[in-house]
Chains A and B, each alone.
Chain A
Amino acid sequence: MSTDKHSGRIEIEDARIHFEQADGGRFTAIDGVSLTIEPGEFVSIIGPSGCGKSTVLNVLAGFLQLDEGTALLDGARISRPGAERGVVFQQYSLFPWMTVRKNVEFGLKMQNVPATKRETTARGLLGIAGLLAFENHYPDQLSGGMKQRVGIVRALATSPRVLLMDEPFGALDAQTRSVMQEVLTNMWQRLRTSVLFITHDIDEAIFLSDRVYVMTARPGRIKAVVPINLPRPRTPETTTSSEYVALVQQLRSLIRAESIQAMGGEFAQAGLAGLDTEVGPEGIGALF
């Protein structure tokens, strides 16, 4: 479905963003971030909360502008939101006043696709996601997992070149979450859209991705890139293989140092600087 020119290649180079804070100060959200997503590739960014991973996604979505650096989709500079980049949000973002099908059709309607064509496309995608029986339900009638599935289907309906997912399963319980991961891999293997997936869950990142970027906190920088060469299709059995376990350990140790640092920073801000300086980051780590 992709041509060479519009194949969904993402390039971020040397990106930097500052935020003004309420107290008048400035902090650097992301600093010197470079990242690529090859066409059809599934890439995750993982890191402690507040490390700026969502900021990177918001730049690609066009919600945020870079202060320095470049963000390109297939060589073209990203400057504002657009339907060629589908976004799935962490919070439920379905329009409550539209039925499930109308939600899915929305992007196509914005492109003036005729009603019958819209309906066919929407029903086809809802079928793949197992939601066809709910096409005339309102979002408030659905469970959390179903809402997020509709959110994914809606983002895919316009055949975007890249799908940007910002901790889409963060609000779901563990059970629903693992089902959603399988649903997502299934859909991705059919459609082969490039995906950028933000998460703080190591298992989730490994299970889904071709490559995982690890980010550091304050300022957000890329610390490491870990290729995930596990065979596909991946199943729950994948998670018991020795390669998988080794990857979990590798990522965990990378993240752990970062989380402690991020927490140390928060302790210091909360007036518990003593903890930070006397015990030191490693010492806090020993507490857990």
Chain B
Amino acid sequence: MKSAMSAVTHKGGNPHIAAGASPAHLSAVTNSPPQRSAQPSPAGAGSPKRNTWFRKWRANRLDAGLGLVSLVTMLLLWYLVTRFRIDFYVRFTNVPSPADVLQKFIEINHTTSFLDNVLISLRRIWLGFGIAAILGVSLGLLVGRYRMVRGLLFPALEALRPIPAIAWVPISVMLWPSNEVSIVFITFLGAFFPILLNTVEGVHAIDKVLLRAASSLGASEASMFRHVVLPGALPHIFTGLALGMGVAWVSLIAAEMISGQFGVGYATWEAYSLISYPEIVVGMITIGLLGWICSALIRIVGSMSMPWLAFTTRRGKS
């Protein structure tokens, strides 16, 4: 009854109107029968669009230039502090220089053992993250949509959530038959909660009028789920996936360093034990790059599966 009331009393203006009503379109509608109003807007939309593209390109060029300056400065600073072996509370005496690291990187790839470690970490990520994505999204949709599921599942999940994935390492080793499964489990735990919570939030964020519209058009519960709840929650789901991917890497590297055999995290820690300092930095950079690539993949898949958002964000920016 309460939701019904808010629907009755909520009669506020919609902020979207001003943005949509272009003068060209309006005049077209007013002085012609409906058929002709269709023509001007696609053509009319052309010129401001090109203008935006041009501006965007110029802005991007500036951004690229600034980004280059930023990266080069960082490399230069790294070079200087290691070249002069700065020892001023922070000690750079044993930190390898950029050149050392580059040389090590080439040397390390003479054999495939480093690449093998990378591939092992990637497999753990995609297994752990993949299971977390499937479980997190499907449970999130159910928890978000059905009060019964929410009431039954959510308190238990909320009780487990504050425990960081890394704190599970000892128990995980005891729980699972092999070290490998245990590391995948830690990775899964790290990714699971951000994905679950964002999916739940995504379902709740769906405008209720869309649900009403779907039901008045005769949508069954299954159709509602497939055509309204899932796509409506998709933007939040991808936010959750991107966050989850970040936490998955954190958890994986920690797990590999603590209990691992193989993997980039393990290789990095081992380099420290063997006093092979350049190799530590090779490991760090590799981990950073891998994390960045995985997040970029998720962003790309996200924008490909939500083509309609291109128009929402453009309006927001201009």
Contacts and interface: CB of A to CB of B under 8 A. Distances in A.
B8 A138 contact: no
Contacts of B130: none
Contacts of A63: 4, 7, 212, 216
Contact of A81 (B39, B216, B312): B216
Contacts of B307: 138
A93 B208 CA distance: 9
Given A110-B223, A186-B34, A95 B14 contact: no
Nearest to B223: A110
A110 B17 contact: no
Contacts of A172: 17
Q: Which of B8, B25, B311 has the most CB of A within 10 A?
A: B8
Given A81-B215, A130-B37, A134-B41, A91 B209 contact: yes
A96 B312 contact: yes
Contact of A128 (B30, B34, B231): B34
B38 interface: yes
B220 to A, nearest CB: 7
Nearest to B22: A143
B34 A19 contact: no
Contacts of B315: 140
B207 to A, nearest CB: 8
Contacts of B212: 61, 63, 81, 87, 89, 93
B160 interface: no
Given A64-B4, A138-B311, A173 B218 contact: no
Nearest to A84: B218
A19 B11 contact: no
Contacts of A110: 217-220, 223
Interface stretch (A68-76, A144-152, A251-259): A144-152
Interface in A3-26: 19-22
Residue from the set A58, A95, A97, A134 with the largest chain B CB neighbour count within 10 Å:
A97
A144 B218 contact: no
A143 B228 contact: no
B96 to A, nearest CB: 50
A134 to B, nearest CB: 7
Interface in A80-123: 80-83, 85-87, 89-98, 106-107, 110-111
A8 B17 CA distance: 33
B55 interface: no
Contacts of B42: 133-134
Contacts of A90: 11
Nearest to B228: A95
Contact of B218 (A22, A49, A50, A111): A111
B21 A82 contact: no
Contacts of A230: none
Q: Which of B35, B228, B308 has the most A CB atoms < 10 Å from its CB?
A: B308
Measured as residues with beta carbon below 8 angstroms from the partner, the interface class of chain B is 35 or more
Most buried by A among B1, B209, B210, B217: B217
Q: Is the interface of B mostly helix, strand, loop or mixed?
A: helix
Contact of B20 (A54, A147, A158): A147
Interface string B270-312: 0000000000000000000000000000000000001110011
Contacts, number: 158
Contact of B217 (A83, A146, A173, A186): A83
Nearest to B33: A130
A183 B36 CA distance: 13
B234 interface: yes
B210 A144 contact: no
Contact of A183 (B8, B34, B216, B308): B34
Interface string B18-35: 001110011001100111
B110 interface: no
A91 B14 contact: yes
A200 to B, nearest CB: 9
B214 interface: yes
- Highest count of chain B CB atoms <10 Å: which of A52, A133, A167: A133
A194 to B, nearest CB: 15
Interface of A: 19-22, 29, 49-50, 52, 54-55, 58, 61-64, 80-83, 85-87, 89-98, 106-107, 110-111, 127-134, 138-147, 154-155, 158, 167, 170-173, 175-176, 179, 183, 186
22 contacts: A19-B2, A20-B2, A29-B8, A49-B11, A50-B9, A54-B7, A55-B8, A63-B4, A63-B7, A63-B212, A87-B213, A89-B213, A91-B207, A93-B209, A95-B214, A106-B217, A110-B218, A142-B20, A144-B21, A172-B17, A173-B21, A175-B26
3 nearest A-B residue pairs (beta carbon): A130-B34, A83-B218, A133-B38
Given A89-B213, A91-B14, 20 more contacts: A19-B5, A22-B2, A49-B11, A54-B8, A62-B216, A82-B218, A89-B209, A93-B210, A93-B212, A97-B231, A128-B34, A130-B33, A130-B34, A130-B35, A130-B36, A134-B41, A138-B307, A143-B17, A144-B20, A158-B217
